[in-house]
Structure 1
Amino acid sequence: MNYRHGFHAGNFADLAKHAAVLTWLRLIREATEPLLVVDTHAGAGYYDLSNPDFARSREAEAGIKYLMSQAVPESLQPLAGYVRAKNAKAGFRDRVGIYPGSPVLVLDHIRTDDQYVGCELREDDFGFLRERIEPRGKAVKEDGYQVALDSTGSARSLFYLIDPPFERGDDYDNLTSTLAGIISRRSDARVLIWLPLKDLETFDAWLRSLEREIDPMPDNLIAELRLRPLWNPMKMNGCVLMAVNPPENFAAHLRSIAEDVVRVFGEDGGQARLWSL
Structure 2
Amino acid sequence: MNYRHAFHAGNFADVLKHAVLAQCFAHLKKKDKPFRYIDSHAGIGAYDLTSSEAQRNPEWEGGIAKVMASAKPADVAEALAPLLQAVTAMNPDGLKDYPGSPEIAARLLRPTDRIQLCELHPADAKTLDNRYKRDARVKVEARDGYKALPGLVPPREKRGVVLIDPPFEHRDEMAHMAEAVRAALPKWPNGTWIFWRPLKDLWASERFDVGLAEWLFEEELATPEKLLRADLWVRDIESEGKLAGAGIVVVNPPYTLEGQLLALLPWLAETLAQGEGAGWRLDGCATDESLSVEEF
Q: What CA deviation, in whole Å up to 9, does each residue of 1:119-162 have, x standing for no partner? A: 11222222221121223211110111122211114332231011
- For residues 89-128 of structure 1, the aligned pairs below 5 Å read 93=93, 95-128=94-127
Matched, 1:85 2:89: yes
What letter matches 2:209 in structure 1? L
- For residues 48-197 of structure 1, the aligned pairs below 5 Å read 48-72=48-72, 73-74=76-77, 75-88=79-92, 93=93, 95-136=94-135, 137-156=138-157, 157-197=159-199
Aligned to 2:31: 31
Aligned to 1:7: 7
Residue 211 of structure 1 deviates from its aligned partner by 4.5
Q: What CA deviation, in whole Å up to 9, does each residue of 1:228-268 have, x standing for no partner? A: 23333654221111110112212111232322221211233
8 Å Cα contact 2:197/2:205 also seen in 1: no
Aligned to 1:253: 260
Aligned to 2:278: 270
8 Å Cα contact 1:23/1:253 also seen in 2: no
Pick which of 35-44 and 183-192 moved more. Answer: 183-192
How many residues are paired up?
272
8 Å Cα contact 1:192/1:244 also seen in 2: yes
Q: Is the partner of 2:195 in helix, strand or coil?
A: strand
8 Å Cα contact 1:228/1:269 also seen in 2: yes
Residue 213 of structure 1 deviates from its aligned partner by 4.1
Residue 64 of structure 1 deviates from its aligned partner by 1.8
Residue 18 of structure 1 deviates from its aligned partner by 1.1
Question: In structure 2, do the counterparts of structure 1 residues 148 and 33 end up closer, same or farther at CA, with 3 Å as the change threshold?
Answer: farther
8 Å Cα contact 2:19/2:82 also seen in 1: yes
Q: Is the partner of 2:91 in helix, strand or coil?
A: helix
Q: Is the partner of 1:204 in helix, strand or coil?
A: helix
Question: In structure 2, do the counterparts of structure 1 residues 263 and 77 end up closer, same or farther at CA, with 3 Å as the change threshold?
Answer: farther
Residue 3 of structure 1 deviates from its aligned partner by 4.8
Q: Is the partner of 1:108 in helix, strand or coil?
A: helix
Whole-angstrom distance in 1 between the partners of 2:208 and 2:113: 32
Residue 77 of structure 1 deviates from its aligned partner by 4.3
8 Å Cα contact 1:41/1:144 also seen in 2: yes
Residue 32 of structure 1 deviates from its aligned partner by 4.5
Task: Using the aligned pairs only, state the percent identity.
Answer: 31
The runs of at least 4 aligned residues of structure 1 exceeding 4 Å deviation read: none
- For residues 184-223 of structure 1, the aligned pairs below 5 Å read 184-211=186-213, 213-214=215-216, 215=218, 216=220, 218=222, 219-223=226-230
8 Å Cα contact 2:209/2:249 also seen in 1: no
Please list every run of 5 or more consecutive structure 2 residues that lacks an aligned counterpart in the other structure: 286-296
Whole-angstrom distance in 2 between the partners of 1:213 and 1:177: 12
Whole-angstrom distance in 1 between the partners of 2:57 and 2:120: 22
Q: Over aligned residue pairs, what C-alpha RMSD do you find? A: 2.2
What letter matches 1:49 in structure 2? L
